[in-house]
Chains A and B, each alone.
Chain A
């Protein structure tokens, strides 16, 4: 027995003797906590939604390692998140921003100016820089935006950037011709281009797509700018210009045949096509109203877009306030006299690629006849030189509505509008099944919404949209399925319940790639995830050094490796659009210095 015990002890000692302990290992690491310097660990409360749980966890880990105490305030949905944010119960709010217009001005104006729609802070210098950049062309504004980023991110630390996301889309390539499915960086899905592998299915099978939110803000383009209607309104209404997949402004697939910027960056000319007619829903289904989409409708639509009092609950006027005047050009000599930046006349520039030169301009849309050289032209003048106005014209909120139809539906007085009694144009009740209201939509775009319920929305193609040309929509019918949960949506894609899924999660790329019937499309996006500091009534609101300490605690590389390389480093919301050359580096030593400074 004694021998056995002795043997046992010897083995144990040998076995355990060669093990590293925690204190052995910690000797190698720099001491990260500022305990020795007698600085109290600042407590930071981070607010987020449960969908951002992964980001919150990484942040908690990084801030804890840099000597902060972290409290997480995780709200189950966006509604309760905004309630908490409005109540000011946070130091840092995990937020994200997507520049849907593809231009840098939109990326900064709303958030960083004192009077922006979603203003995060008030800073005079930031206001000046934003306004200066808006008057500049791409070559010049890079420096201005660099100054802006330096000021708001590094010098003042009003926001702390995390990453830029990619966009990913899963397409069922056994049914859909994958090459016809576009994944633009900013613009919403282009349904009219999508085609089946088997073209004979166009009339018999619907295209099945997906959207997370089923409650639609409004089908009046100017009354909403969110995920519930962006894609739908983009396909219901045509615009003066469009964005390409990499955010260049073009006339392709739009109401204009060509567009031109006149010298001075203040006058913009658009030559309109004559082969788009409004569609409407009548008892037998969709009909071509034979009412042409013309310059009068453009003038009406843009005038109401820039006027904040044109409709109750106008949500997009700030995008269009840069426009001063919209007029229908009647005098051909005006086009001949105006000059572009290149020195050509505007008329020549507008005629590029046309079969028939402009011989006559008309102010009545019914008289237009492009084949005979009779065109309509629209001139837009901005308040200040503002080349980025074209991006706003490509946004869904600049969709062209029918003057006649909107005026006949919106008969109420805007000031006395009562949401329970007055049914405004585009109200979702007019398209909801069994609601008892008539569908009053007039669609100028490739598709029109017939009806919707809680589970899906039913679209058919506009018979008067460029019929007989390349621009005619391929598939007759589109059904948008409302599936809120990303995992369920992915399952729906794999089970052929939907054909296209926009927004595949990073950790699900492999699932889509490995599935033989699916193709994964990827593109960069303009979505930036950042932390907004609470600028009112908190320690972080007044203590710049503390904000900078948090800023430099963030290690973007760790976020990127967590997302398996499917994120890009960011500095501010303009990072996806303008390369300013700035980067945010994690720096623990700097954090300790700043923390000491913050404590003083």
Chain B
């Protein structure tokens, strides 16, 4: 690897440097889009994890100190931002047979693989797909500056060298701050009848929530995530990569993931990691509980407000036990630990309650094995999962499609990361759509659940609608 570019620029934080380099990133994106058209995947991640630690006391078997055997799990992560552009991609697999998808992800790969799979009730409607690439342009942004590397998996050297020269010219251009990227003017809004606050909260939703509560009173389940997908006004239009990146630079969601071809598309602003593995140590970081701060940056009093909400704590407790159970399916007995439970993570103006559950993979367990054992993800289904999935299928009148599925990257060495597909726009068999949902428990109030729907929806949709 010889193509390396380093730009030192000290700033208060990696996020500030993301702003500082944003024009370069957009120019890069614009260039890549012209070169690779639909043969490119963006996978961005903000690794900084800021927020407030919950005081565990003697109330939970958990720790706020990373257990010693897991010291290395986050070692490749720090307070930086990683932007990965997988270029000259090709589809390795596109299938409605989920077993073929798992089988492929049980094997090792020669280059990182990008994978996407819908929620389980939609396996027969939407395809699971796996994409490989000929090379990768990886940007690493920290408070110190930017580091760009090209990883060649199977591309002609000459091409990479010439591309690198063009990349250099983008970063050497001092006057870029005045450069205006072309933007499509597009209105990706919800259909009008869904826009007004209370029309969305129609009788149907209240009835569905009440039905779910009936199941819970009878002991059939304790927590059910009920969702709905909504077709977008422009059924065939899918935003361009540069448009997506412009929106992401504004939203700065933990993950920013984009792919688009003739058949499928994904523009993902998800805050939630599903499973991550490094050196056979793994973690899952479920989110349950969202609160919108009245201040620009959430404060400790916002964190205290969410911890004081018993419904949120109970619901989150259920999800942590559920994810411990699911990790125990693929991890060595006794290795599963709860780390930083009920952490009030700052995500823009929102507080997201998040816990980490750590475990050591059993011998020879691969990404494919983990997905096969652990999907659908606990935080978007409920408990007990098997029964609750039957209830979800019965109560939800629209299939979820890609919404609440997962996507991620499998590295050549077997490490992986994955993201829950929420707060995203999808393109699939039914056109372009998005989804929203909320966890329903016996304590749920239809109106406040509905408000949570809206907070989540607004957290990304507005930014896509007006990117500039």
> Do A and B bind?
no
